[in-house]
Chains A and B, each alone.
Chain A
């Protein structure tokens, strides 16, 4: 905005101060937890003096050095966090691939069909999007017990795909609306069927939108707690329910540090994600807003 050239120094100070404050509020909790994950419990949850966490008094006393990997060792080796990481990877990868496949087909159809029912489908999807996931989970449990499909990874995957569909459809629908109709219609004039036109003309140009939508599908599957906590058995557990299960045993010395280390480990992939895909995430957040 060129209009903001002449500003009072007071205003500059206030707005810069606000932004600085926000940066601290947004990042400090993560930095603090990262720092604390290399300490022992007596330091990170200090009864006597919070500065112990900085000085590492007990960490030095107990382990001989200022930083310790005990929490990580406990979580990854002793509590087998790697197993849940593997499960999370399988679930997240499958959910992203399947929901993008379904979503691109559906979103393309919704964007190209001018009939009234497309509007109703989108409205129903909006209501589905708003429903708390746990309400659906209460509907799954009894049937899943009866059909003997409870506890398996594929069950959780297909459920997450379904829960993810409303959002994916909306996002890809608004994205496909931005791809000119002439592209696929001219292909059809040349004799392609609708599917061939989609396959050969639309697919090559749709990747930016698909990647953006994929990021959000990834987040939904990765961040899910309600579905995976209720639908997966102990040996098929994913990361987030596992972290929640560490919490049940925080009274025992050391165990809460497993949770801290696991939390830091589970945040790392998200950090990397923002590092590489910041632009896509921002454009994805605003896509729905700007296009209505």
Chain B
């Protein structure tokens, strides 16, 4: 295809991506270098019967004008990145010096909004992803050994948690585990503790969010693995049986190697999707115990006093995280591509 033709074919799509993905990233970067204007202060002299005193008041008119003239705020360089709400370099250093143990340091660092969100986002990503792979494979193997007529309905039911809107999915679960919901009261009975509430405990909230993550993503792994199982070659399996391999050994040495490329694909997709975990925190109203990077950005932007600078800084750090996460994949694809060319 000629360069010219290619250009016109790709043009609408590329234009949309440049205007609404690439340029916003630039805009986010510029915003991250600015902070909101401080309120304009003015000293006025109040003279009363007992003499004059000076008073500092907020000049609302001037503040409003300044904010309208320069909506970006004032230039702050990289100070947004190092402030308490983001990397918090100062605070981390002093916490490190003052803490007497690592556990103590972690506990203190968890009061910093960015690191708190980072801790949950990474835990969520790296706990949910392997669990999804394992559960998905287990279900796929189970369904594959079912009689054929049951397979369709099973897939139908399995698709629901994955396809449903994340906010809706998390609400549906949340209403059940709520202390007044069916599972919530069931757990209270088991634990014999009428005060037990999943929301009150940070650990249980994290577990609940992870359970949601696995519940909503396992079908994806299941479907992909199930499709892969349909293409497992017969000969190696039969050869393995003749050699006396039991079922587990056949799965371990024939089926799993065959599914390896699929597992890598699922891992890639899951890392990308889990890293942006956001809706479940809104749905479970879990912000008191768990926040993610995406949730922090949402929180900065919400309300009348939106902090664009802070939101933009968190966004830049999140994008940086995504790039770090993707680097191994990109390098691998680059090598594959070069190998194919030469």
A interface residues, Cβ below 8 angstroms from B: 1-4, 7, 11-12, 15-16, 18-19, 22-23, 25-27, 29-30, 32-33, 36, 44-47, 49-50, 53, 101-103, 105-106, 108-110, 112-115, 119, 121, 123, 125-143, 145-146, 158-159, 161-163, 165-166, 168-169, 194-195, 198, 219, 222-223, 225-226, 230, 240, 243-244, 247, 259-260, 263, 266-267, 270-271, 273-275, 278, 281-282, 285-286, 288-290, 292
> Is B205 in contact with chain A by the CB < 8 A criterion?
no
CB-nearest residue of chain A relative to B330? A123
Cβ contact within 8 Å between A289 and B167: no
> Is B54 in contact with chain A by the CB < 8 A criterion?
no
Cβ contact within 8 Å between B265 and A288: yes
Cβ contact within 8 Å between B301 and A230: yes
| Residue of B17, B181, B275 touching A165 (CB-CB under 8 A) | B17
Chain A interface, >50% SS class: helix
Cβ contact within 8 Å between B215 and A25: yes
Q: From residue B182, how far is it (CB to closest CB) to chain A in Å?
A: 5
Q: From residue B303, how far is it (CB to closest CB) to chain A in Å?
A: 11
Q: From residue A57, how far is it (CB to closest CB) to chain B in Å?
A: 14
Residues on B with C-beta less than 8 A from A141 are: 301, 306, 308
List 10 contacting pairs A-B, 8 Å CB cutoff, sorted by A. A19-B139, A26-B161, A50-B186, A102-B12, A109-B9, A168-B13, A198-B9, A260-B175, A267-B165, A286-B224
Residues on A with C-beta less than 8 A from B5 are: 109, 194-195
Q: From residue A106, how far is it (CB to closest CB) to chain B in Å?
A: 3
Q: From residue B150, how far is it (CB to closest CB) to chain A in Å?
A: 8
Cβ contact within 8 Å between A274 and B156: yes
Residues on A with C-beta less than 8 A from B27 are: 139-140, 142-143
Q: From residue B331, how far is it (CB to closest CB) to chain A in Å?
A: 11
Residues on A with C-beta less than 8 A from B166 are: 223, 225
- Which of B1, B139, B282: most chain A CB closer than 10 A? B1
Cβ contact within 8 Å between B10 and A121: yes
Cβ contact within 8 Å between A222 and B146: no
| Residue of B1, B71, B168, B227 touching A145 (CB-CB under 8 A) | B71
Q: How far is the CA of A285 from the CA of B163 in the complex (A)?
A: 11
With contacts A106-B10, A126-B326, A226-B278 taken as known, whether A138 is within 8 angstroms of B31 at the C-beta atoms is yes
Cβ contact within 8 Å between B315 and A135: yes
Residues on B with C-beta less than 8 A from A29 are: 161, 172-173, 176
Q: From residue A146, how far is it (CB to closest CB) to chain B in Å?
A: 7
B87-95, B108-116, B292-300: which lies at the A interface?
A: B292-300
B42-50, B77-85, B230-238: which lies at the A interface?
A: B230-238
With contacts A29-B176, A145-B71 taken as known, whether A108 is within 8 angstroms of B9 at the C-beta atoms is yes
Residues on A with C-beta less than 8 A from B181 are: 44-45, 50
Q: From residue B120, how far is it (CB to closest CB) to chain A in Å?
A: 14
B interface residues, Cβ below 8 angstroms from A: 1-3, 5-6, 9-10, 12-14, 16-17, 19-21, 23-28, 31, 71-72, 138-139, 141-146, 152, 154-161, 163-168, 171-173, 175-176, 178, 180-182, 185-186, 215, 218-220, 223-224, 227-229, 232, 234, 237-238, 241, 247, 250, 261-262, 265-266, 269, 272, 275-276, 278-279, 282, 285, 293-294, 297-298, 300-302, 306, 308, 311-312, 314-315, 318-319, 322-323, 325-326, 329-330, 333-334, 337
With contacts A1-B232, A106-B9, A109-B9 taken as known, whether A135 is within 8 angstroms of B297 at the C-beta atoms is yes
With contacts A141-B308, A223-B165 taken as known, whether A165 is within 8 angstroms of B142 at the C-beta atoms is no
CB-nearest residue of chain B relative to A42? B180
Residues on A with C-beta less than 8 A from B3 are: 115
Residues on B with C-beta less than 8 A from A49 are: 185
| Residue of A15, A161, A240, A289 touching B227 (CB-CB under 8 A) | A289
Q: How far is the CA of A138 from the CA of B237 in the complex (A)?
A: 53
Q: How far is the CA of A263 from the CA of B171 in the complex (A)?
A: 8
Cβ contact within 8 Å between B247 and A162: no
CB-CB nearest 5 A-B residue pairs? A139-B24, A162-B20, A109-B9, A132-B276, A106-B13
Q: From residue B79, how far is it (CB to closest CB) to chain A in Å?
A: 18
Q: How far is the CA of A168 from the CA of B232 in the complex (A)?
A: 29
- Which of B144, B165, B294: most chain A CB closer than 10 A? B165
Q: How far is the CA of A271 from the CA of B172 in the complex (A)?
A: 15
Q: How far is the CA of A19 from the CA of B227 in the complex (A)?
A: 16
Instruction: Please name 9 further chain A to chain B contacts, defined as beta carbons within 8 Å, in addition to the given A270-B165, A275-B156, A285-B224, sorted by A numbering.
Output: A15-B141, A50-B182, A115-B6, A134-B276, A135-B28, A137-B301, A139-B25, A141-B306, A278-B152
